[in-house]
Amino acid sequence: MIGILGSGSWATAVAKILLEQPGTQLCWYVREPEIRQSLADHGRNYRYLGEVPFDPSRLIICEEAQEVVEQCDTIYLLVPTAYLHNVMQSVNASMLRERTIVSGVKGFIPETNEIVTDYLQHLYQVPAQQLAVISGPTHAEEVARERLTFITCASDNPDLAERVRQQIRCRYINANTSSDVRGIQFATALKNVYAVAAGLVVGLGYGDNLLAVMVCHAIVEIHHFLATIQPSNQLTIYTPQQLIPYGGDLLVTCYSQFSRNRRLGTMIGRGYSVKSAQLEMDMVAEGYYASYSLEKIRKILNIEMPIAQSVYSVLYQNARPDLLLRAWQIYKN
């Protein structure tokens, strides 16, 4: 049986994808009692992607994460990073080491500033051969509407990557495999920071021309970061398939109307305080937490990332949003 931890929009979208395979049954940890009731009674997550129907007979809804770990041999982690550490502390670590874990989490663990697979290996001793990740570009709203989407399944274990690919392939999901587990996770976390930057550009009243320039600089910073943090695994792009989980995910997050990170930046650029923007959104913008972790990692690595640094200053040091534009002076020549 396949388990899911998480009940937000992306978790709901992944549940929909997995249930496209005939005979699949899901064991689903849902923290909110109102959502549990909605799924059990009406087959819908009333709060996130309420238009997606589920067959309640194919769902086992759990109020504790440990229940899912006990009943499933494959577990999809789809909890926002802000809450993942608390959820993982509630499960049996030794039992977790016996499971296959697929992470769809898009960011760093705030408590440790780690990507998810590093966190699971260091804190829970889950073997790398039992870990996989799935990456976008994958806005949940488009998955809900069954618009064609490309997903990359990455693992150090080629057989596991292929097994995950088979689990999520369907008429509107095209899935590929990769071995760059760490690089994809870092790129996925960083793109959320740059989506906040994209929102700041929009909120400040600049147009698509400047936004395109910002995205180009973001690509340079991401490549510099990846080359520094894993120098033995230099990212070389030969085909669109290889580029999708890096550049494709960045582009959709910076440009899409569904991007909550861009929305956060847009609101701040228009004059909202960081806190008031977060409260009005009522959804987790991973870029906020990723920015804090990235600043810690960047300092350890001693690398310059002007756009990412300026986003951190806006989010955590009460800097003016137009600081972002001044940061680009380092690229002037």
Q: Which CATH number characterizes residue 98's domain? A: 3.40.50.720
> Which comes out higher in pLDDT, residue 100 or 207?
100
Q: Please, what is the angle between helix 181-203 and helix 286-301, to 10°? A: 120
195/264 Cα distance (integer angstroms): 9
Total domain count, the chain: 2
Based on the domain organization, do 72 and 17 belong to the same domain? yes
With a CB cutoff of 8 Å and minimum separation 6, the contacts of 206 are none
266/272 Cα distance (integer angstroms): 9
Q: Which CATH number characterizes residue 218's domain? A: 1.10.1040.10
296 is catalytic: no
Based on the domain organization, do 191 and 307 belong to the same domain? yes
**What percent of the chain stands above pLDDT 90?**
84
118/84 Cα distance (integer angstroms): 14
Q: Residue 193 has what pLDDT?
A: 97
Domain boundary among 179, 199, 229: 179
With a CB cutoff of 8 Å and minimum separation 6, the contacts of 105 are 77, 78, 79, 80, 81, 84, 116
* Mean pLDDT over the full length of the chain: 92
Q: Residue 240 has what pLDDT?
A: 65
Based on the domain organization, do 170 and 204 belong to the same domain? no
Based on the domain organization, do 163 and 189 belong to the same domain? no
Q: Residue 257 has what pLDDT?
A: 84
What would the pLDDT profile of 29-84 be if each residue is shown by its tens digit?
999 999 999 999 999 999 999 999 999 999 999 999 999 999 999 999 999 999 99
What mean pLDDT is predicted for residues 224-246? Answer: 74
What mean pLDDT is predicted for residues 218-243? Answer: 77
Based on the domain organization, do 167 and 252 belong to the same domain? no
Q: Which of 106, 191, 299, 332 is flagged as catalytic?
A: 191
What mean pLDDT is predicted for residues 105-122? Answer: 96
Based on the domain organization, do 162 and 249 belong to the same domain? no
Question: What is the pTM assigned to this prediction?
Answer: 0.93
- In three-state secondary structure terms, 1 is coil
Q: Residue 233 has what pLDDT?
A: 64
What would the pLDDT profile of 258-312 be if each residue is shown by its tens digit?
899 999 999 999 999 999 999 988 778 999 999 999 999 999 999 999 999 999 9
Q: At residue 237, does pLDDT exceed 60?
A: no
267/93 Cα distance (integer angstroms): 40
Based on the domain organization, do 291 and 201 belong to the same domain? yes
**Domain limits for position 122:** 2-179
Based on the domain organization, do 9 and 62 belong to the same domain? yes
